[in-house]
Structure 1
């Protein structure tokens, strides 16, 4: 299983009055991690959008373990947890600067045509990307 890592500096605007990261910001960091994973595998989500294909979230699960705080640098770990040629589930772990698990999460996506939102076969449209996901996914 291939795991991508990226660091995010916690900005003041991402926190509440207690200096704790507001819960919805973890979703943004998951997107940052997902984009980095795709780039690490040699692809760009923006290229898929140029082809008129989108990859909306159809399910998201998130478990908050420990708060991240203003001024810390968190580490976002992202991997392909499951993939079947149509749907992909990404796994995430976000760690505090001290190495504690802050968030464990997953998001499931499906590829659709931008104009109709009809699902498309990722396997058929992007065979090289499909192959990379097959190799990278969790066993």
Structure 2
């Protein structure tokens, strides 16, 4: 299972009146992490979109553990939590520079045709992605 890593320097504009990262900005960082994972797996999300396939979020879960502040470094770790040929669930951890857990999260996605927004089978229409996602999804410990 590949765990991708992306470092992000917390910018002043990402903080709120309390001086900590505004909660919605973590969701943007999840997207940055997901894009990095897809790149690390050898694919390009923008090319998939140019081919008329989108991957909307259908569910997102975020748990905030420790705040990050302006000037700190956030480390976004991303992996494929589960994949079944149609739905992908990505797992995330956002860590501080000292490896303390700031956020844990997951997001579920399906791929759809851009013109109709109808779900597609990744296995059938993106066979290269399917093979790589199968090989890199989180394995059950009991297997």
TM-score, normalised with respect to structure 1: 0.98
Which residue number corresponds to residue 87 of structure 1?
A: 87
Once the two structures are superposed, what CA deviation does each residue of 1:38-75 show, in whole Å capped at 9, x if it has no partner? 00000001111011110000000110000011100110
Name the structure 2 match of 1:45: 45
Take 1:120 and 1:127, find their aligned partners in 2: how far apart are those partners? 12
Q: Which moved more, 1:73-82 or 1:14-23?
A: 14-23
Q: Does 1:115 align with 2:115?
A: yes
CA distance in 2, matches of 1:26, 1:91: 13
Counterpart for residue 26 of structure 2: 26
Report the 3-state secondary structure (helix = DSSP H, G, I; strand = E; otherwise coil) of the residue aligned with 1:24. Answer: helix
Counterpart CA distance in 2 for 1:118 and 1:101 is 37
Gaps of 5+ in 2: none
1:3-58 Cα shifts (integer Å, max 9, x gaps): 00010000000001222000000000000000000000000011110111100000
- Which consecutive residues of structure 1, in runs of 5 or more, have no partner in the other structure? none
Query: What is the number of residues matched between the two proteins?
Result: 139
Q: How is 1:1-139 mapped onto 2 (pairs within 5 angstroms)?
A: 1-139=1-139
Listed one character per residue, the Cα deviations across residues 74-97 of structure 1 (whole Å, up to 9, x for unaligned) are: 100000000000000000000012
The CA RMSD measured in Å over matched residues stands at: 0.6
- Runs of 4+ with deviation above 6 angstroms: none
Distance (Å, rounded) in 2 between the aligned partners of 1:100 and 1:17: 23
